[in-house]
Amino acid sequence: MTLNGIGKHKRTFGEWLRSRDGQKVLVITAFLIIPLMLLLVFTYIPFAETIKFSFYNMKYVGARKFVGLKNYAKVFSRDDCFGALKLSLYYMGGSVVQLTLALYLATILSFKVKGGNFFKGFMFFPFLINGIAIGFIFKFFYTRGFVFDTVLGWCGFNLEDLPYWLKDRSINNISLVGTSVWRYFGQNMVLFIGAIMSVSGELYEAAMLDGANRFQQFRYIILPSIKSIFVLNVILSISGSLSAFEPPYVITDGANGTGTYFVVMHEIAHTQQKVGLASAMAVVLLSIIFVVTILQKLFFKYVFKDTD
| 90 within 8 A of 146, measured Cβ to Cβ | no
For residue 55, state whether it binds another protein (rule: CB under 8 A). no
Residue among 164, 204, 218, 304 that touches another protein (CB under 8 A): 164
Q: How many CB atoms lie within 10 A of CB 259?
A: 21
| 52 within 8 A of 272, measured Cβ to Cβ | no
Q: How near is the Cβ of 169 to another protein at its closest, in Å? A: 6
For residue 100, state whether it binds another protein (rule: CB under 8 A). no
| Span interacting with another protein, options 13-21, 116-124, 163-171, 194-202, rule CB under 8 A | 163-171
Residue among 98, 252, 260, 279 that touches another protein (CB under 8 A): 252
> Residue 263 class from Cβ within 10 Å (0-12 exposed, 13-18 middle, 19+ buried)?
buried
Considering the complex, state which of residue 227 and residue 266 has its C-beta at the smaller distance from another protein. 266
From CA 20, how far away is CA 303, in angstroms rounded?
Answer: 48
| Span interacting with another protein, options 36-44, 98-106, 252-260, 291-299, rule CB under 8 A | 252-260
For residue 179, state whether it binds another protein (rule: CB under 8 A). no
Q: Provide the CB-side half-sphere exposure for 171 (13 A, CA).
A: 9
Ramachandran sector of residue 114 (left: φ over 0; alpha: ψ -120 to 50; beta: rest): beta
Residue among 167, 219, 297, 301 that touches another protein (CB under 8 A): 167
For residue 60, state whether it binds another protein (rule: CB under 8 A). yes
| Span interacting with another protein, options 16-24, 214-222, 251-259, 299-307, rule CB under 8 A | 251-259
Ramachandran sector of residue 256 (left: φ over 0; alpha: ψ -120 to 50; beta: rest): left
Considering the complex, state which of residue 149 and residue 189 has its C-beta at the smaller distance from another protein. 149
For residue 254, state whether it binds another protein (rule: CB under 8 A). yes
- Contact letters for another protein, residues 212-241 (x by CB under 8 A): ------------------------------
Question: How far is residue 282 from each of residues 167, 265, 285, 286, measured CA to CA in Å?
Answer: 29, 8, 5, 6
From CA 68, how far away is CA 2, in angstroms rounded?
Answer: 53
For residue 253, state whether it binds another protein (rule: CB under 8 A). yes
| Span interacting with another protein, options 40-48, 208-216, 270-278, 290-298, rule CB under 8 A | 270-278
Residue among 88, 98, 172, 239 that touches another protein (CB under 8 A): 172
From CA 284, how far away is CA 266, in angstroms rounded?
Answer: 15
| 281 within 8 A of 73, measured Cβ to Cβ | no
State which amino acid sits at residue 206: A
| Span interacting with another protein, options 12-20, 177-185, 213-221, 263-271, rule CB under 8 A | 263-271
| Span interacting with another protein, options 58-66, 98-106, 199-207, 234-242, rule CB under 8 A | 58-66
For residue 255, state whether it binds another protein (rule: CB under 8 A). yes
